[in-house]
């Protein structure tokens, strides 16, 4: 009897182990390690530099390998062809997926959690609101925000934390993009509450009093109340400006107020930390490459002279089109820093990918950073060299804004925002990075340690008018 019991237990354990290692045993899963039961390779990924984790596995297993992260089996891909399939040509087989805490705090109706009809409807609207023709008219407002930020630095008595300052800038610009130029009584309240909300984004979705998630959910409720007041007023007055106005006027979709609120928070989330982090890297790379900074300054001085000759006018969209070198510096910063290192999708059915099977329910992670740092596509990938963008990169080798159905609809707006700030920073100020450290912190995007402390001095005596 005892022998039989031991045999049954041993068989069950072997069965569990077998299923853990090779679910769907007769199909060909990608190579790789699933790590320990349940924990998988989570600790390995989160206790070391994530680039090391991806690079070592890619070297060992190739461009498609399996792993097990945060309780989910997953497949990581770093070939342009596989990325194309997952993000674009077979995108219908891979739905976006986010941690539960993020989805509930941002709001489940935000477009990036969706797939299919609701997503395409909203996406058309968001993309139209941030298309080059729509954002042309925002340059003056963005410029006012940039000038206000920079002039506040003139009185700084201690080093400036670049990331924190860029977050202020990107937040203000994001608010303009979603609410338009109108001054709303609730704007300041929204700003304060949003700062509290984002503290919960990376928490566990445990809704018990006292937990970070519980606190953030209460903040989210308070944010909703303020947004509802704005929405109610605007419904009576024709919608108003910004993405909010466009959503209120979108008769075909007839969005509910809660769906509109979720998408307002969603766009602030998507636009804010991303742009601030890239701006921080821009200042770091320009500081570390003085010859390049000099060449960029020459380009920006040329534009500044033109503005002076034409009656001290402000920047326009067309001026930003003349910033060719500065734009290449932004492109190279996006590649080199690759702040969105990867994205998550989930297979909605069993999918065959380059000879392997990805079982239904498995996560798929296109590794943007690994692709951006492949020497076949970007020779000497660790060198900061904007001239590589004098020639367009091969398709699906350069995806700082993603690709396919969920690619970033705010990419042109983000670039505009960065060009406007750089123009004024470079022509009016100098900055010096404090400390020689090259360390990086992850929170969640990679950023120079401490947020890049800088000291700023004025380059021109004349003060800038706002």
Bind-site residues: 408
Choice between 317 and 401, CB closer to ligand HEM: 401
Q: Which stretch binds ligand HEM (CB under 6 A): 407-415, 421-429, 434-442, 453-461?
A: 407-415
φ, ψ (nearest 5 deg) of residue 61? -110, -15
- Record the tokens describing residue 272, joined without a space: 């804010």
Choice between 357 and 408, CB closer to ligand HEM: 408
Verify binding: residue 175, ligand HEM, rule CB under 6 A.
Answer: no
Residue 446 pairs in a beta bridge with 442
Binding-site residues from annotation for heme? 408
Q: How far apart are CA 278 and CA 3, in angstroms?
A: 63
Q: Which residue is nearest to ligand HEM (CB)?
A: 410
DSSP code for 394? P
Q: How far is residue 104 CA from its own chain's centroid?
A: 18
Verify binding: residue 408, ligand HEM, rule CB under 6 A.
Answer: yes
The only residue of 32, 200, 386, 410 in contact with ligand HEM, by rule CB under 6 A: 410
Verify binding: residue 166, ligand HEM, rule CB under 6 A.
Answer: no
Verify binding: residue 96, ligand HEM, rule CB under 6 A.
Answer: yes
Q: Which residues contact 285 (CB under 8 A, 6 or more apart)?
A: 292, 329, 332, 333, 336, 384
Verify binding: residue 270, ligand HEM, rule CB under 6 A.
Answer: yes
Q: Where are the alpha helices (DSSP H) in 338-432?
A: 368-372, 411-428
Verify binding: residue 246, ligand HEM, rule CB under 6 A.
Answer: no
Q: At what angle do helices 162-179 and 411-428 cross, to 10 degrees?
A: 130
Verify binding: residue 74, ligand HEM, rule CB under 6 A.
Answer: no
Verify binding: residue 400, ligand HEM, rule CB under 6 A.
Answer: yes
The only residue of 177, 246, 320, 341 in contact with ligand HEM, by rule CB under 6 A: 177
Q: Which stretch binds ligand HEM (CB under 6 A): 14-22, 230-238, 267-275, 297-305?
A: 267-275
How many helices (H) does the chain have, and how many strands (E)? 18, 12
Residue 352 pairs in a beta bridge with 357
Q: Which stretch binds ligand HEM (CB under 6 A): 49-57, 77-85, 203-211, 406-414?
A: 406-414
Verify binding: residue 409, ligand HEM, rule CB under 6 A.
Answer: yes
Residue 409 C-beta: closest distance to ligand HEM, Å: 5
| Stretch 130-149 residues interacting with ligand HEM (CB under 6 A) | 130
The only residue of 95, 102, 104, 123 in contact with ligand HEM, by rule CB under 6 A: 123
User: Please, what is the end-to-end C-alpha distance for the chain in angstroms?
Assistant: 88
Q: How far apart are CA 412 and CA 94, in angstroms?
A: 26
Residue 130 C-beta: closest distance to ligand HEM, Å: 5
Nearest C-alpha neighbor of 295 from the set 382, 416, 422, 393: 422
Please report, for residues 171, 299, 418, 422, the alpha-carbon distance to residue 276 in angstroms, rounded to integers and kept in the order given. 9, 23, 9, 13
Q: Which stretch binds ligand HEM (CB under 6 A): 69-77, 144-152, 273-281, 380-388?
A: 273-281
Q: Where are the alpha helices (DSSP H) in 34-116?
A: 42-46, 50-61, 80-84, 100-106
Q: How far apart are CA 410 and CA 268, in angstroms?
A: 11
Verify binding: residue 126, ligand HEM, rule CB under 6 A.
Answer: yes
Residue 178 C-beta: closest distance to ligand HEM, Å: 8
The residues that touch ligand HEM, with contacts defined as CB under 6 A, are: 96, 111-112, 123, 126, 130, 177, 267, 270-271, 274-275, 278, 339-340, 343, 400-402, 406-410, 413-414
């Amino acid at each position: 009897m005892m022998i039989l019991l031991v045999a049954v237990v041993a068989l069950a354990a072997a069965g569990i182990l077998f299923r853990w290692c090779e679910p769907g045993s007769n199909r060909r899963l990608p190579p790789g390690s699933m790590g320990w039961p349940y924990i998988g390779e989570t600790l390995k990924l989160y206790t070391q530099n994530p680039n090391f984790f991806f690079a070592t596995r890619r070297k060992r297993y190739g461009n498609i390998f399996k792993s097990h992260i945060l309780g989910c089996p997953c497949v990581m891909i770093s070939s342009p062809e596989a990325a194309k399939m997952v993000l674009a040509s077979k995108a219908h087989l891979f739905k976006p997926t986010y941690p539960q805490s993020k989805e509930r705090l941002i709001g489940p109706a935000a477009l990036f959690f969706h797939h299919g009809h609701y997503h395409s409807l909203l996406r058309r609207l968001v993309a139209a609101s941030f298309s080059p023709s729509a954002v042309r008219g925002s340059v003056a407002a963005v410029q006012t925000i940039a000038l206000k930020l920079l002039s506040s630095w003139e009185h700084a008595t201690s080093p400036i934390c670049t990331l924190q300052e860029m977050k202020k800038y990107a937040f203000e610009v994001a608010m303009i993009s979603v609410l338009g130029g109108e001054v709303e009584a609730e704007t300041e309240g929204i700003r304060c509450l949003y700062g509290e909300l984002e503290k919960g984004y990376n928490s566990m979705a445990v809704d018990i009093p006292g937990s970070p998630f519980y606190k953030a959910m209460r903040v989210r409720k308070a944010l909703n109340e303020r947004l509802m007041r704005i929405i109610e007023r605007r419904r009576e007055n024709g919608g108003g400006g910004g993405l909010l106005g466009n959503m209120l006027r979108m008769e075909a979709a007839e969005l509910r107020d809660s769906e509109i609120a979720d998408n307002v928070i969603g766009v602030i989330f998507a636009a804010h930390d991303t742009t601030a982090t890239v701006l921080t890297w821009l200042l770091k790379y320009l500081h570390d490459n003085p010859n390049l900074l000099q060449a960029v300054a020459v380009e920006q001085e040329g534009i500044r002279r033109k503005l002076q000759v034409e009656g001290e006018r402000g920047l326009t969209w067309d001026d930003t089109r003349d910033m060719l070198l500065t734009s290449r510096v932004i492109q190279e910063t996006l590649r080199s820093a690759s702040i969105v290192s990867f994205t998550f999708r989930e297979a909605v059915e069993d999918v065959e990918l380059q000879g392997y099977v990805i079982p239904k329910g498995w996560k798929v992670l296109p590794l943007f950073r690994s692709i951006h740092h492949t020497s076949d596509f970007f020779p000497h990938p660790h060198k900061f060299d904007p001239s590589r963008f004098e020639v367009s990169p091969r398709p699906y080798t350069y995806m700082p804004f993603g690709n396919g159905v969920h690619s970033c609809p705010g990419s042109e707006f983000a670039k505009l925002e960065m060009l406007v700030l750089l123009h004024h920073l470079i022509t009016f100020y100098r900055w010096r990075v404090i400390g020689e450290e090259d360390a990086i912190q992850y929170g969640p995007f990679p950023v120079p340690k401490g947020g890049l402390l800088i000291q700023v001095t004025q380059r021109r005596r004349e003060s800038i008018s706002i």
